[in-house]
Structure 1
Amino acid sequence: MHLATYLGLLHTSLRTLADAFREVAKGHGDEPDVQHTCTVLASRIDEQVSALGPIVERYGEHSEPEPERLHAAELKETRSGGVGLLRDLQDLYALASFTDITWTVVGQAAQALRDEELIDVVSTCEQDTARQLAWLKTRIKQSAPQALIAARG
C-alpha cells in the first residue's frame, strides 16, 4: 500500500506550508492584514498536522522531498515591495495548491478504505485548505494592480 507515501508528502507539505506562511507574515509586517492572516493560517495548518497524527501512526509515512523542492528558495527570505509581496503570495498559492491536491488523493484512498476517521480529517482539512487558497487568490487580486501598474520605480 502506497498510502504511507502520500501521508508523508502531505505531512511534509503541511509543515512546509505553515513555515512559508510564517515567513511571509514576518517578512511583510508592513502589511498588517498579511501578517495577521498568514499567522492565523499557519496556526490552522499546525492543527491539520495534529489531526493527521493518529492517521500517520496507523498507516505510517514515507518521507519524500517534493514539497521542499516546491518551496521556492526565495520564500526562505521574503522579497520586498509590492511585486515582492505578490510573488511571495504566488509561492504560497502554489504550495497550498500542492497540499490541496494531496488532500484529494488521500481522500480518495480514505474512501476506498472506508476509513471514517480519515474521511473526516480529509473533509475538514480540505475545507481549511480551500479557505487558504481563496484568501490567497483574493489577496493576489488586490495586490496585483498596485504592484504591476500603479507602482513606480
Structure 2
Amino acid sequence: MHVGNYLGLVHHSEQQLSNALMMVASHHGDEPDITQTCKLLASWSRANIESLKPLIERYAEEKSDEPERLTQVLFKEPRTGSLALLRNLHDLWLLANEVQLCWMVLLQAAKALRDKELEATCVSCSGQTKRQVAWLMSRIQQAAPQTLVVA
C-alpha cells in the first residue's frame, strides 16, 4: 500500500504552500489585502497539516522532497513590484493546485479503503484548499490587467 507516499506528499506540499504564502505576505506588504489574506491562507494549510497527524500515525509517511524542489524553482529569489506580485500569485496558484491534487488522490484511496476518517479529512482539507485556489485566481484576475496593461 502506498498511502504513506501521498500522505508525505500532501504534508510537505501543505508546508511549502504555507511557507510560500508567508513569504509573499512579507514581500508585498504594500498591497492592502495580500499580507492579511496570505497569512490567513497559510494558517489554513497549517491546520490541514495538523489534521494529518492521526493519519500519519496510522499509515506512516514517506518523506518527499518534491514539494521543496518545486518551491525552490518557483520562488528562486524575492520579487518586488506589481509584476512580481502577479508572478508570485501565479506561483502560489500552482502550489495550491499541487496540494489540491494530492487531496483528491488521497480521497480516492480513502474511498477504496473505506476509511471514513481519511475520507472526512480529505474532504475538509480539500475544501480549504479549494478556497485558497479560488482566492488566488480572483486576485490574479484583479492584478493581471492593471499589471500587464497599465504598467
* Alignment TM-score > 0.5, same fold: yes
The alpha-carbon deviation at position 32 of structure 1 amounts to: 1.8
Matched-pair contact (CA < 8 Å) for 2:17–2:95 = yes
Matched-pair contact (CA < 8 Å) for 1:78–1:88 = no
2:22 aligned with 1:22, yes or no? yes
Structure-2-length-normalised TM-score: 0.96
Structure-1-length-normalised TM-score: 0.95
Give the aligned CA root-mean-square deviation in angstroms.
1.1
Structure 2 CA distance for partners of 1:77 and 1:26, relative to 1, 3 Å:
farther
The alpha-carbon deviation at position 78 of structure 1 amounts to: 3.0
The alpha-carbon deviation at position 4 of structure 1 amounts to: 0.5
**More deviation in 76-85 or 4-13?**
76-85
Hey, what's the Cα distance between the residues in 2 that align with 1:36 and 1:77?
A: 22
Instruction: Give 2:50's aligned amino acid.
Output: S
Hey, what's the Cα distance between the residues in 2 that align with 1:75 and 1:27?
A: 12
Tell me the equivalent position of 1:150: 150
Deviations 1:14-73 (A, max 9, x none): 100000000000010001201110000001111000001100111000011111121144
Hey, what's the Cα distance between the residues in 2 that align with 1:56 and 1:27?
A: 33
Matched-pair contact (CA < 8 Å) for 2:79–2:85 = yes
Tell me the equivalent position of 2:82: 82
Instruction: Give 2:65's aligned amino acid.
Output: P
Hey, what's the Cα distance between the residues in 1 that align with 2:115 and 2:60?
A: 15
* Percent identity for Structure 1 against Structure 2: 48
Deviations 1:114-144 (A, max 9, x none): 1111111000111100000000000000000
Hey, what's the Cα distance between the residues in 2 that align with 1:76 and 1:132?
A: 22
Matched-pair contact (CA < 8 Å) for 2:74–2:91 = no
Hey, what's the Cα distance between the residues in 2 that align with 1:136 and 1:108?
A: 25
Matched-pair contact (CA < 8 Å) for 1:27–1:77 = no
Instruction: Give 1:22's aligned amino acid.
Output: M
Number of residue pairs matched by the alignment: 151
Mapping of 1:46-85 within 5 angstroms? 46-73=46-73, 75=75, 77-85=77-85
Q: Could you list the runs of 5+ residues in structure 2 that have no partner in the other structure?
A: none
Hey, what's the Cα distance between the residues in 1 that align with 2:74 and 2:102?
A: 23
